[in-house]
Every structure is written in structure tokens, then in C-alpha cells.
């Protein structure tokens, strides 16, 4: 396909394409093909899942359904939280369907496997659901960007706030895979650097339905704080079990280190009121967020999580880069994306670093009491903004091969 007149007139787009290594500025196979990969039926269904696909489809529709006259095609699949299923799905998408970009990606083990496939085939990944900070640290590649959040700001936000309030002795209850390990490590670093200690820990299989034995171990530890380094249904089950066993009534406090809007909604304010958490975004944080969220609500019937909002944001940034460069070449598009600031309804002070981490302001929030809430989804107070340049792991500490320290 030849360049449109609009792209020929864009010296910026041509310069970007040339800077990316001289790749021919064109859209391959006469289509921009996006694959959406996520847990569509299991533990992480509600935080991303079908709602994330709806957000991606909203972005495609809002963009007009095409880029410079070239149609946008969307494929989707359930990775079943299996690294093998995820990697094989993406390999098939690239081999058989010529997919240019893969969006979504939730379980960190799946994401790490998929990004290796994307690097092998030189395709692009936009990671919105995964949490492991290693995704843009030791597992970084030139073929993916991590968009919404990771374990480093979660620890810096929630764990630091809890320690500052006097919660110095911690017991860690951790999902036994890449995400849980990364979050536990980042929390331990924050706790110990601020004068606290980890007095015990236990790791549970992913996913887990029965948390009885783990909560009993946490109670027996005598720790002031029980940190939950898990997510989705695992976090909900752990909090519900802790409530049944009277953990908080005995003087211990739960710290949900990755709690999503849908989790709080599912458990209700009676069970979660007062809980501190760190989030990358909240639907009711300002007028821009509310406007987009209300459109999403009309479509889906529930308010979006930060992951679902991030999927829309990252997809729009990608499509804008394809339009500006007239190309779907990975290096060309990624370089243009890195050159453009991100300031939309989702991100404040956002930009993409050399390691592929999209840094932006994060927020310390507290769950409202039932009396404070003014509606079904009015669940958080935003207590503080964690500036982008303070929220994420400093590049000086990076183990990413793309970073020149």
C-alpha cells in the first residue's frame, strides 16, 4: 500500500519512520490488526476480561474504525491464565492472521511468555493488566510497553502509607507466581527501608478458593499487618475468609496491595470501608474520567476498572502513532509513541521511558464508608497524588538492557 497524501505531507511522520531504522512507512497487509488477549472467564475476568475488550472496541470506534482509510480489525481470545495458551495463541495470530499489536494481557506469567513471542516475531504488545514490575525490568523487550501500573508504585503507595501510620510488622500472603513474587519483593523493600519488618509469609497456589489455612497462619504470626500480594478473585476470597475468621476484629489489619474497583464493589463497603489502596486511575476522579466512564457504563452496565480504562488509552495512543507515521512497523510506531506525551482522561503527566514503562501519576485512595457513598459505584476517596516521577522504579535502578545507566 502506498502512502496517503496526508502521510506524504507529514515530515514529522517521515522523520520518525527514518529514525526507527529506515523501515518503509506503510501499513502491511492493508489492515491494522489488533489481538486482545486476557482472562475472559477466570480469576481476573472482571478486572479486564470482556470489559477490556469493550474498551478496546470503543477506542477503535472512536477512532473511526480505520487508519488513513485502512480498516482496523480486532481479534480476541481467552488465555485461561496459562502462559502456554497465551504464547500459542499469539503465535497463531501472527502466523495465520498477521496481527500487528496485542493488547490486554493480565496474568504476569502469561505476559512474560507472550512478550517473548512478540520479540521473536517483531510485533508490538501493549500490556495493561499485568502487575509485575519485572515486565519492564529484567523482562523488558523492545517490543512491548507496560501501561497502567506495576508492583513498584503499589508498594510505594499502599505499603509506605500503612508503615507511616504505624503498621511496621507484616505477614505476607502471596500468589505463587511472577506477579505475587514481584509484589512481595517490592513491598518488603519498602517496609524494611522504612523501619518495618516481614515477620512471616506464605504463598498460595494461583488461583485458590480456600484460604482458611493461610489466614490461620497469618493470625498465628501476630503481625500487625497482613499484606495480600494477590489480585482478583483471590483477593476477594482472602478478605472474605479473613472476615469470617475475625482477623481484623482481633486487632490485625489487612492491606490489599492490588485491589480493583470491581473487588470493592463485589465485597461491599461494609467489608472494605477504610481500606487503603493505590490505583492508577478512578472513574470519578475528575470530569474527563467521568465523561468517558459514563459512556463505558452505558455500553457495559458497570463502571470501568483502571485496567479497562488503560486499554482504551493505550489503544488510542497506538492508533494515533500508526496514523502519524503511516506505518504499522513495530519500531516505527513504538518510537513515535515514546516521543509523544500522554495526557488524556486516563493519564496525567504520562510518557513512555526507554524500558517500555509508561509512567504517569498514581493515586493513594481510601474506600468510603457506606454513609459517605453517594451511589453504587461511589467507592473511593482520592487521598493523595503520587507524581509520575516518584511513583515508578527509577531508571538508575533498572536491569533492563534497553536502558543506558
Total domains in the chain come to 2
Contact 259, 380 (CB under 8 A): no
Residue 365, in any domain of the structure: no
CATH number of the domain to which 328 belongs: 3.40.50.2300
Examine the domain organization and report whether 267 and 301 are in the same domain.
no
How far is residue 354's CA from residue 282's CA, in Å, rounded to a whole number?
Answer: 27
pLDDT at 18 over 80: no
Q: In what order do the strands lie in the sheet with 253-256?
A: 197-204, 169-175, 225-229, 253-256
Examine the domain organization and report whether 289 and 309 are in the same domain.
yes
Beta bridge partners of 72: 32
Examine the domain organization and report whether 11 and 145 are in the same domain.
yes
Examine the domain organization and report whether 316 and 351 are in the same domain.
yes
pLDDT in tens, 205-251: 998 999 999 999 999 999 999 999 999 889 999 999 998 999 888 88
Domain boundary among 279, 295, 320: 279
pLDDT at 17 over 80: no
Strands 101-104 and 32-38, sheet pairing: parallel
pLDDT in tens, 242-272: 989 998 888 898 888 999 999 999 999 988 8
Examine the domain organization and report whether 191 and 63 are in the same domain.
no
How far is residue 81's CA from residue 175's CA, in Å, rounded to a whole number?
Answer: 13
Examine the domain organization and report whether 159 and 265 are in the same domain.
yes
Examine the domain organization and report whether 220 and 306 are in the same domain.
no
Percent share of the chain, pLDDT over 90 = 81
Nearest to 127 by CA among 346, 357, 289: 357
pLDDT band per the 50, 70, 90 thresholds, residue 273 = confident
pLDDT in tens, 99-149: 999 999 999 999 999 999 999 999 999 999 999 999 999 999 999 999 999
pLDDT at 8 over 80: no
Beta bridge partners of 34: 74, 101
Examine the domain organization and report whether 89 and 200 are in the same domain.
no
Domain boundary among 359, 376, 397: 359
pLDDT score recorded for residue 271: 86
Grid cell 535502578 is found at 397
Residue 35, in any domain of the structure: yes
Examine the domain organization and report whether 197 and 236 are in the same domain.
yes
State the chain's mean pLDDT as an integer. 91
Backbone angles phi, psi at 96, to 5 degrees: -100, -25
Residue 196, in any domain of the structure: yes
pLDDT score recorded for residue 6: 35
pLDDT score recorded for residue 315: 98
Residue 335, in any domain of the structure: yes
How far is residue 258's CA from residue 260's CA, in Å, rounded to a whole number?
Answer: 7
CA distance to 106, 133, 261, 313, 327, per residue, from 318 (Å): 19, 22, 26, 9, 11
Contact 242, 255 (CB under 8 A): no
pLDDT at 14 over 60: no
pLDDT score recorded for residue 24: 44
Mean pLDDT to the nearest integer, 45-68 = 97
Examine the domain organization and report whether 133 and 43 are in the same domain.
yes
Examine the domain organization and report whether 216 and 106 are in the same domain.
no
How far is residue 57's CA from residue 181's CA, in Å, rounded to a whole number?
Answer: 33
Domain boundary among 256, 279, 302: 279
pLDDT in tens, 346-400: 999 999 999 999 999 999 999 999 999 999 999 999 998 999 998 999 999 999 9
The beta-strand segments (E) located in 30-108 are 32-38, 66-67, 70-78, 101-104
Contact 355, 400 (CB under 8 A): yes
Residue 342, in any domain of the structure: yes
Residue 77, in any domain of the structure: yes
Residue 309, in any domain of the structure: yes
pLDDT score recorded for residue 251: 86
- Its domain, for residue 56, covers 5-18+28-149+285-359
Residue 394, in any domain of the structure: no
Percent share of the chain, pLDDT over 70 = 94
Helix, strand or coil, per DSSP, at residue 200: strand
Rg (CA), the chain: 21
Q: Determine which helix (DSSP H) or strand (DSSP E) holds 227, and give its type and residue range.
A: strand 225-229
pLDDT score recorded for residue 25: 58
Examine the domain organization and report whether 35 and 142 are in the same domain.
yes
Amino acid at each position: 500500500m502506498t502512502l496517503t497524501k496526508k502521510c506524504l505531507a507529514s515530515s514529522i511522520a517521515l522523520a520518525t519512520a527514518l529514525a526507527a531504522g529506515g523501515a518503509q512507512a506503510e501499513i502491511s497487509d492493508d489492515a491494522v490488526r489488533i489481538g486482545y488477549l486476557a482472562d475472559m472467564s477466570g480469576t481476573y475476568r472482571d478486572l479486564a476480561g470482556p470489559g477490556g475488550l469493550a474498551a478496546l472496541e470503543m477506542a477503535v470506534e472512536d477512532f473511526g474504525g480505520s487508519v488513513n482509510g485502512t480498516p482496523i480489525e480486532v481479534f480476541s481470545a481467552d488465555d485461561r491464565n496459562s502462559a502456554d495458551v497465551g504464547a500459542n495463541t499469539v503465535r497463531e495470530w501472527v502466523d495465520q492472521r498477521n496481527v500487528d499489536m496485542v493488547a490486554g494481557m493480565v496474568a504476569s506469567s502469561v505476559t512474560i511468555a507472550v512478550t517473548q513471542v512478540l520479540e521473536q516475531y517483531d510485533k508490538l504488545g501493549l500490556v495493561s493488566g499485568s502487575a509485575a514490575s519485572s515486565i519492564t525490568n529484567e523482562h523488558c523487550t523492545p517490543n512491548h510497553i507496560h501501561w497502567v501500573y506495576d508492583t513498584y508504585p503499589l508498594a510505594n503507595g499502599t505499603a509506605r502509607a500503612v508503615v507511616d501510620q504505624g503498621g511496621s510488622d507484616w505477614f505476607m500472603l502471596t500468589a505463587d507466581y511472577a506477579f505475587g513474587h514481584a509484589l512481595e519483593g517490592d513491598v518488603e523493600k519498602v517496609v524494611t527501608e522504612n523501619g518495618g519488618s516481614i515477620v512471616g509469609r506464605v504463598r498460595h497456589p494461583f488461583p485458590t478458593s480456600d484460604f482458611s489455612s493461610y489466614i490461620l497462619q497469618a493470625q498465628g504470626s501476630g503481625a500487625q499487618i497482613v499484606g495480600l500480594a494477590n489480585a482478583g478473585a483471590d483477593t476477594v476470597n482472602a478478605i472474605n475468609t479473613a472476615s469470617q475468621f475475625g482477623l481484623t476484629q482481633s486487632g490485625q489489619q489487612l492491606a490489599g496491595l492490588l485491589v480493583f474497583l470491581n473487588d470493592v464493589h463485589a465485597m461491599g463497603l461494609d467489608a472494605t470501608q477504610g481500606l487503603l489502596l493505590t490505583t492508577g486511575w478512578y472513574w470519578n476522579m475528575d470530569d474527563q474520567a467521568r465523561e468517558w466512564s459514563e459512556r463505558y457504563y452505558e455500553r457495559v452496565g458497570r463502571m470501568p476498572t483502571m485496567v479497562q480504562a488503560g486499554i482504551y488509552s493505550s489503544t488510542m495512543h497506538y492508533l494515533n502513532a500508526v496514523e502519524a507515521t503511516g506505518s504499522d512497523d513495530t519500531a516505527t510506531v513504538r518510537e513515535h509513541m515514546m516521543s509523544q506525551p500522554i495526557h488524556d482522561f486516563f493519564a496525567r503527566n504520562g510518557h513512555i521511558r526507554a524500558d517500555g514503562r509508561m509512567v504517569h501519576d498514581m493515586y493513594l485512595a481510601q474506600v468510603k464508608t457506606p454513609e459517605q457513598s453517594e451511589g453504587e459505584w461511589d467507592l473511593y476517596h482520592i487521598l493523595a497524588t503520587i507524581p509520575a516521577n516518584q511513583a515508578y522504579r527509577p531508571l538508575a535502578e533498572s536491569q533492563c538492557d534497553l536502558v543506558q545507566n
